[in-house]
Chains A and B, each alone.
Chain A
Amino acid sequence: DAMVIQNPRYQVTQFGKPVTLSCSQTLNHNVMYWYQQKSSQAPKLLFHYYDKDFNNEADTPDNFQSRRPNTSFCFLDIRSPGLGDAAMYLCATSRSRVHEQYFGPGTRLTVT
């Protein structure tokens, strides 16, 4: 029944060691999003894909990259994680940009 799946649920990485988080969806939605959510804060949009069209938020650091090899999968790459990148990373999908978004359970990233 899971519609938006994120793996792993918990990820520990070392300072500066590249890490990749993955997201898959069974909804066949056109749009996939990545959000960063820190404790007691609202989710913050990092970027999204509309089909293969990548849209980066203006204030997303270059350290964060994304790939969408096909409709179902989307990856978040953090090239050199810093301590400040420890957060919950949420993947979401939607049929179009104006429709409601469906969220995955998130990946909690710890940077040591």
Chain B
Amino acid sequence: AQSVSQHNHHVILSEAASLELGCNYSYGGTVNLFWYVQYPGQHLQLLLKYFSGDPLVKGIKGFEAEFIKSKFSFNLRKPSVQWSDTAEYFCAVNLNSNSGYALNFGKGTSLLVTP
């Protein structure tokens, strides 16, 4: 069955620490990959996406993610987190085909950045 796994459910970091959130998927075909962020009390927002091309993608607010096809991974990174990065982060995957419309989400990672 197709699935998306986020390995860290709760992460606590101090400001200026580096962040890496893991995401792995189990799909057999060509995929589109996304990271969404949900700040407290706000709606889900797209952080970055990968469809094709350069496997290192840059998103908003200094975030980036690297697609490693051989590892079925799409890990999210930020070199130096800020208190305002406290949020829930969701990795999501869908198949790059007309039948692959379902956007499958991972269970999310709750990030708390302390001053």
Contacts and interface: CB of A to CB of B under 8 A. Distances in A.
B96 interface: yes
Contact of B101 (A55, A103, A106): A55
B5 to A, nearest CB: 11
Which of A40, A41, A100, A104 has the most chain B CB atoms inside 10 A of its CB?
A100
Interface residues of A, number: 23
A41 B44 contact: no
Contacts, number: 50
B100 A100 contact: no
Interface of B is mostly: loop
Given A103-B44, A105-B43, A42 B108 contact: yes
A43 interface: yes
Given A42-B90, A45-B102, 15 more contacts: A40-B108, A41-B107, A42-B105, A42-B106, A42-B108, A55-B101, A90-B43, A97-B94, A97-B100, A98-B98, A98-B100, A100-B34, A100-B49, A101-B103, A105-B43
Interface of B: 32, 34, 36, 42-46, 49, 51, 90, 94-98, 100-103, 105-108
21 contacts: A31-B101, A33-B103, A40-B108, A42-B105, A42-B107, A43-B90, A45-B103, A50-B101, A90-B43, A92-B44, A97-B101, A98-B94, A98-B96, A98-B98, A100-B49, A101-B103, A103-B36, A103-B43, A103-B45, A105-B43, A106-B43
